[in-house]
Amino acid sequence: MDLVEILPDILPDRLHMFRFPIGQAYLWCDGEELTLIDAGHKDAAADIEEAVRGLGLRPENIRRIVLTHCHRDHVGAAGELARRYGAEVVAHRLDAPVIRGEQPVPEPVLLDWERPLYAHGLTVEPAPATRVDREAEDGDLLGFGDGARAVHAPGHTDGSMAVRLPHHGVLFTGDCVAGVGQVMLGVFNTDRERALESFRRLARSPPPSPASATATRLTHGTDAVLRASADRGSGLQVEHG
């Protein structure tokens, strides 16, 4: 295990984060049933399997892979893992044709300071064409996490989606939100204004239910940070523009 850093203690027994040299993925556990949120780069399957086993879990129990959007560092290993374990691949309707390889990956409108970062991101190999079994729409139940729902959050790509687990107070933001020391609007957006709208919508969403003490503690902090960042509004551009 040298390509994946496991951050296992976000919500012990429930939520784990796998961090790759570029990009990250999350593992959600409903008992033995596992859901991957994003799937790392093209060659990450073996590392993800090893990471799952390292947590004392079975990759054979990966039931679904939810892709937050069509980018290579999120889709990469999804097809291979889905094939191996018969997992369902879920993505938003508008990014599904890109993930399947039927449409080109949309070009972002880059700010000057984003260009070197973007070039670095392209050192990851493109994702292979990947089947999508289910196309999600805003508000759809996704079948895990005691009521996980898709939240359409366009702007990074047209079909970017966040995933909210109200029962657990967890929000997977995909690349709509970046957390690099500070919480800020994600980079490499195809439509920065729409991305900012999505960011604000996520920040305004109702706070999580207090169903889980641990999760609530975690996300109260996160929600507050997200709201504060959205409130800074144009600051998001000024800080880095």
Question: In whole angstroms, what is the distance from residue 93 CA to residue 97 CA?
Answer: 8
Which helix (H) or strand (E) segment is 138 a member of? none
Question: Of 4 and 161, which CB lies nearer to Zn ion in the complex structure?
Answer: 161
Query: Smallest gap, in angstroms, from Cβ of residue 10 to Zn ion?
Result: 21
List strand residue ranges (DSSP E) for 54-174, in order: 62-67, 88-92, 134-136, 149-152, 161-165, 170-172
**Residue found by looking up tokens 């998001």 in the block:** 236
Q: What are the phi and psi torsion angles at 128 (to 5°)? A: -70, 160
74 Cβ partners below 8 Å, 6+ apart?
23, 25, 38, 39, 40, 67, 68, 127, 174, 175
Question: Of 47 and 175, which CB lies nearer to Zn ion in the complex structure?
Answer: 175
Instruction: Compute the least distance from the CB of residue 71 to Zn ion, in Å.
Output: 4
Q: Which CB atom, from 169 or from 174, has the smaller least distance to Zn ion?
A: 174
Cα–Cα distance between 51 and 24 in angstroms, integer?
13
Contact residues for Zn ion (CB under 5 A)? 71, 175
Q: Report, in Å, the least distance between residue 88 CB and Zn ion.
A: 22
| Ramachandran bin of 40, using left for φ above 0, alpha for ψ from -120 to 50, beta for the remaining angles | left
Cβ 175 to Zn ion shortest distance, Å: 4
Q: How far is the CB of 240 from Zn ion (least distance, A)?
A: 17
Shortest gap between Cβ of 172 and Zn ion (angstroms)? Answer: 13
Residue closer to Zn ion by CB (options 35, 173) is 173
Closer CB to Zn ion, 173 or 212, in the complex: 173
Q: How far is 228 from 155, CA to CA, in rounded Å? A: 20
Task: Please identify, using beta-carbon distances, which residue of 30 and 197 lies nearer to Zn ion.
Answer: 197
